[in-house]
Structure 1
Amino acid sequence: MLRPRSIPILAMLALLGACGDSRTPQAFDQRMTAYVGRPEAELVAGLGVPSRTYDADGRRLLQWDFLQPGAGPAVYPSIGLGFGGFSFGRGGGSGFGLGTGVGVPLGGAAPPQGCSVVFETRGGTVQGYNRNGPGCIA
Structure 2
Amino acid sequence: MIPALFLLLAGCAQGPGLDQRLSTFVGRSEGELVGELGVPLRVHEADGRRFLQFERRRGVAVAPPPGYYAPVYGPWGPRFGYWPPPPGIAMATCDLTFALREGRVESFSYRGEGCF
Per the normalisation by structure 1, the TM-score is 0.63
* Alignment: residue pair count: 116
Distance in 2 of aligned mates of 1:104 and 1:82:
11
Question: Aligned to 1:105, which of 70, 78, 85?
Answer: 85
Task: Give how far 1:15 is off.
Answer: 5.8
- The Cα offsets for residues 51-96 of structure 1, whole Å up to 9 and x where unpaired, read as 10001221101000001231x3x333425244589xx9xxxxxxx9
Distance in 2 of aligned mates of 1:15 and 1:110:
31
The percentage of counterpart residues that share the same residue type is 31
Which of the pair is proportionally richer in strand? 2
Question: Aligned to 1:45, which of 22, 35, 41?
Answer: 35
Per the normalisation by structure 2, the TM-score is 0.73
Which has the higher relative contact order, 1 or 2, with Cα contacts under 8 A spaced 6 or more apart? 1
Question: Aligned to 1:121, which of 67, 90, 100?
Answer: 100
Task: In structure 2, list runs of 5 or more residues that go unmatched.
Answer: none
Task: In structure 1, list runs of 5 or more residues that go unmatched.
Answer: 1-5, 89-95
Instruction: Give the corresponding residue for 2:4.
Output: 10
Query: Using a 3 Å threshold, how does the CA distance of structure 1 residues 122 and 79 change in structure 2: closer, same or farther?
Result: same
For 1:31, the aligned partner's letter is R
Q: CA RMSD in A?
A: 3.4
